[in-house]
């Protein structure tokens, strides 16, 4: 791997600004320098202070008009749903039956899985997303396809085979035993191979039998460092159906809790309709939530309450997810914009620092990868984006009148999109450049 230095304004979160004073959370250098060695950041700081440490002959790329930031971390996304993004007119359960299950059946075909996996990884990088927690289809080969595509770019991707044995079309159902055996084989094949991490992925309580949830729990007990991802409390009809299917359980959270699926390695998409008692249980167990606002608006699921979730008295860790194809954009900038608007509808104004935290370090913390990505810091992976604050005429006009860094970052997260991602680096390699014709 080539050693490299990047020079420009640097901005990174180092702490959670929902729980700490903003000044203890943000590190900004108007003229910063990032030294990269063997794919990792070896030093980061003020250019004037660091320039004497530049090794002889090292290439320095200077981005005088841009912001250098940690790559975005998407805490929840479905790669086999790319082609159904923007599908009309249905709420969650109908949307799953009408659009989602049929498109996921296509991933029984390895050629289709490879083609969409390649597209998906390229689209993440075009949007400045360098890590993501990815739901595959129920076909094990769909996991092979995404891990192969991610590995070709040396990306830290978490992914898992959807476990689903009930209440969906036969061509995408597994059984408790095959889902266990296939997941175990995939863990052995992929977990910690390069930067890849395996995530046990029961779709949600509605498509799993008790036996399958039991075996998902067994996988988690048998593999102490794999993660778990699923869905919870996204839609009121879903919540009611979960109660019908699991009548012995106190509430939706108690279903997953009962089967050993609620701990600090677990992240659940949505959590819009969780009760105080359920949020307390998330806090106690250390389980996390992936907030997916573009999806919640689009599918009409409801308004997630970020302030209640991050309540200082019993905070629950939250990451930000696009939830494509229920979500409507790969752009974490657009997703931050919609998260802000959703909070506004609840009477809360999330700050710029809080929003950038959710999209980077917050998601990394929620996925258990914050020891290696989500921040610009020595020892962290050189997963870095170059953001152009003047990417469009409107952004340029707005940037010119921004009086503070916070104002600029806020306007960017509200108004910018993939056009503002000038370059994306993964493990110190340039993997996307907006203005190149390559
Ligand atoms: N709940 C269970 N499966 C899904 C899915 O694929 N997308 C969303 N948004 N919610 C789900
Ligand atoms: Zn989802």
CATH for 155 = 3.20.20.140
383 plus 346 within the same structural domain: no
**3-class DSSP assignment, residue 63:** strand
Determine contact, residues 384/69, Cβ cutoff 8 Å: yes
pLDDT at 359: 99
Instruction: Express each pLDDT in 226-247 by its tens digit.
Output: 999 999 999 999 999 999 999 9
In a domain, 111, yes or no: yes
179 plus 117 within the same structural domain: yes
In a domain, 438, yes or no: no
Q: Is 204 in the pocket of ligand 1 (CB under 6 A)?
A: yes
Distance 421 CA to ligand 1 centre (A): 28
Among candidate residues 366, 399, 416, the one where a domain is terminated: 366
Percent residues over pLDDT 70 in the chain: 99
pLDDT tops 90 at residue 177: yes
133 plus 175 within the same structural domain: yes
Which of 269, 292, 293, 302 for mutating ligand 1's site (highest number of atoms within 8 Å of CB)?
269
Distance 75 CA to ligand 2 centre (A): 10
pLDDT tops 70 at residue 280: yes
Average pLDDT over residues 304-316: 97
Instruction: Express each pLDDT in 349-380 by its tens digit.
Output: 999 999 999 999 999 999 999 999 999 999 99
222 plus 358 within the same structural domain: yes
Distance from chain centroid for Cα 289? 11
Tell me the pLDDT band of 437, cut-offs 50, 70 and 90: low
pLDDT at 436: 87
Determine contact, residues 46/32, Cβ cutoff 8 Å: yes
pLDDT tops 70 at residue 438: no
183 plus 320 within the same structural domain: yes
Among candidate residues 346, 366, 386, the one where a domain is terminated: 366
Tell me the pLDDT band of 2, cut-offs 50, 70 and 90: low
The domain total for the chain is 2
276 plus 144 within the same structural domain: yes
- Which residue's alpha carbon is nearest to atom 7 within ligand 1? 326
pTM above 0.85, yes or no: yes
**3-class DSSP assignment, residue 396:** helix
Among candidate residues 366, 382, 409, the one where a domain is terminated: 366
pLDDT tops 90 at residue 330: yes
Distance 189 CA to ligand 1 centre (A): 26
**Domain extent for 23:** 4-70+374-433
pLDDT at 396: 98
Average pLDDT over residues 253-265: 98
DSSP E strand boundaries for 136-205: 156-160, 162-163, 197-202
C-alpha to C-alpha distances, 259 to 75, 202, 223, 314, nearest whole angstrom: 23, 12, 15, 23
User: Which atom of ligand 1 approaches the CA of 299 most closely?
Assistant: 9
Q: Is 326 in the pocket of ligand 1 (CB under 6 A)?
A: yes
* Backbone conformation region of residue 185, classed left if phi is above 0, alpha if psi is from -120 to 50, else beta: alpha
pLDDT tops 90 at residue 70: yes
66 plus 95 within the same structural domain: no
In a domain, 125, yes or no: yes
């Amino acid at each position: 791997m080539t050693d490299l230095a990047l020079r420009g304004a640097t901005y990174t979160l180092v702490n959670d600004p929902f729980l700490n004073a903003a000044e203890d959370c943000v590190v900004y250098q108007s003229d910063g320098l990032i030294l990269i060695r063997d794919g990792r950041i070896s030093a980061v700081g003020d250019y004037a202070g660091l320039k004497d440490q530049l090794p002889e002959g090292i290439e320095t790329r200077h981005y005088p008009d841009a912001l250098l930031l940690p790559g975005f971390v998407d805490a929840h996304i479905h790669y086999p749903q790319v082609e159904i993004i923007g599908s009309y007119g249905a709420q969650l359960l109908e949307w799953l039956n009408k659009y989602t299950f049929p498109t996921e059946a296509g991933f029984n075909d390895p050629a289709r899985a490879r083609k969409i996996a390649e597209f998906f990884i390229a689209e993440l990088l075009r949007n400045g997303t360098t890590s993501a927690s990815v739901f595959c289809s129920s076909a094990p080969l769909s996991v092979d396809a995404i891990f192969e595509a991610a590995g070709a770019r040396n990306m830290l991707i978490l992914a898992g085979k959807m476990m689903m044995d009930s209440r969906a079309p036969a061509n995408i159902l597994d059984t408790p035993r095959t889902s266990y055996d296939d997941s175990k084989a995939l863990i052995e094949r992929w977990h910690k191979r390069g930067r890849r991490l395996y995530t046990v992925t029961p779709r949600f309580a509605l498509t799993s039998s008790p036996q399958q949830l039991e075996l998902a729990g067994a996988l988690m007990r048998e593999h102490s460092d794999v993660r778990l991802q699923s869905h919870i409390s996204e839609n009121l009809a879903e919540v009611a159906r979960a109660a019908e299917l699991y009548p012995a359980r106190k509430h939706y959270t108690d279903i997953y809790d009962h089967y050993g699926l609620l701990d600090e390695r677990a992240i659940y998409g949505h959590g819009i309709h969780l009760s105080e008692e359920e949020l307390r249980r998330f806090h106690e167990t250390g389980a996390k939530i992936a907030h997916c606002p573009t999806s919640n608006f689009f599918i009409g699921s409801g308004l997630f309450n970020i302030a209640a979730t991050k309540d200082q008295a019993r905070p629950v860790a939250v990451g930000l997810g696009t939830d494509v194809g229920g979500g409507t954009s790969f752009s974490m900038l657009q997703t931050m914009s919609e998260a802000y608007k959703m909070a506004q509808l609840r009477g809360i104004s999330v700050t710029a620092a809080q929003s950038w935290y959710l999209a980077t370090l917050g998601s990394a913390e929620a996925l258990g990868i914050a020891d290696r990505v989500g921040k610009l810091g020595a020892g962290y992976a050189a997963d870095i984006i170059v953001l152009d604050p003047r990417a469009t005429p409107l952004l340029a006009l707005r940037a010119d009148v921004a009086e503070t860094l916070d104002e600029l970052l806020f306007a960017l997260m509200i108004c910018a999109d993939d056009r503002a991602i000038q370059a994306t680096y993964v493990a110190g390699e340039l993997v996307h450049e907006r203005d190149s014709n390559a």
